[in-house]
Chains A and B, each alone.
Chain A
Amino acid sequence: MGVIKKLPVYTEHIPGGALVTTSVNSVLTLAQAKSLWYLLFGTACCAIELMATGASRYDFDRLGMIFRASPRQADIMLVAGTITHKMAPRVKRIYDQMAQPRYVLAMGGCAIGGGPFYYDSYSVLKGVDKIIPVDVFVPGCPPRPEALLQGCLEVGKKIRTLKIDEWS
């Protein structure tokens, strides 16, 4: 993030710096939006659908999405599955370990609000947005791969609207 934090400072010394800043912004957000590397992490049945989306039939790779096994290398966390109270501190910790800029997509009813475990459950967290900020919610139980792909494209659209000094 060092380069990105310093970039506006550099560009201000160039005459017509605003134009350069805009271009850099556009290139960087484009690059970010087209290479969303996701954290390979699934806690319940939604993870099966995530695997199906990553496999050859739906093929995450054509969107530039490649799974990373380490949160340090991941840009986006796809919360695929039920988050229990026991799992919640771990999810928070993985999120904290991700490098900025980082995004979160909550996949399925469980991650959005407890899903089928909303009532009469002692163990399930009622929505992952209680512990980490979520950018896009994809409803379904589980969502179809097409819905997940659209959710990822929505994250990309959101990234394209950001300014580099808003990245955090």
Chain B
Amino acid sequence: MTKAELTAHITAGFTGRVQVLENNQPEPYFIVNPDDLVAFARYLHDDPALQMTFLMNLAGVDTGERFEVVYSVCSYQLKHRLLFKIQMPRDNAEFDTVMQVWPAANWYEREVWELFGMTVRNHPNLTRFLLADDWNEGFPMRKGWTGTDFIPLPDRG
């Protein structure tokens, strides 16, 4: 499906609970409520006209005001792809795992948990695997983070 067809199909199929983010990229971009995340993922995966069976990427974002998690999914069968994201307040960032839909989300969600400190509900194995074993300096991908060995880039004007 083309970008316009995807947008029309999803806004009709997931009525009222998905917001379209206008952009000039080739893929459509949606915002969903964190509470609707698993339902939306299940819908994308199971709808016969979408068949988004492959999770390409899952990334955390700290915008300074809030946390976001961006999902990129595609369909090998139907050769189309899209992006969607959820937004959460910085002080209470919690979202559900989508592992029951895309098992590939396992390590991505662990990474988001480890580097941003967002809580992933129902994840089977939230354990550290990227940072040093004796790490105790918080969440390094958050805005404004500093640590003992951290040298910020000087402002060269």
Asked whether, in the complex, the Cβ of A120 is within 8 Å of the Cβ of B133, the reply is no
The answer for the CA separation of A119 and B149 in the assembled complex, in Å, is: 10
Beta-carbon contacts of A116-140 to B below 8 Å, as 1s and 0s?
Answer: 0011111101100000000000000
The answer for the CA separation of A149 and B124 in the assembled complex, in Å, is: 49
The answer for the CA separation of A65 and B137 in the assembled complex, in Å, is: 42
**Residues in chain A near residue B132, CB distance under 8 A:** 84-86, 88-89, 123
The answer for the CA separation of A25 and B9 in the assembled complex, in Å, is: 82
**Residues in chain A near residue B64, CB distance under 8 A:** none
Beta-carbon contacts of B64-99 to A below 8 Å, as 1s and 0s?
Answer: 000000000000000000000000000000000000
Interface membership of B140, Cβ < 8 A = yes
Interface membership of B16, Cβ < 8 A = no
Q: For chain A residues 84-119, which have a beta carbon within 8 Å of chain B?
A: 84-86, 88-89, 118-119
Contact A122 to B152, CB < 8 A, known contacts A86-B131, A86-B132: no
Enumerate 8 A-B pairs (CB-CB under 8 Å) in ascending A order.
Answer: A85-B131, A85-B132, A88-B132, A89-B132, A89-B133, A119-B151, A121-B151, A122-B145
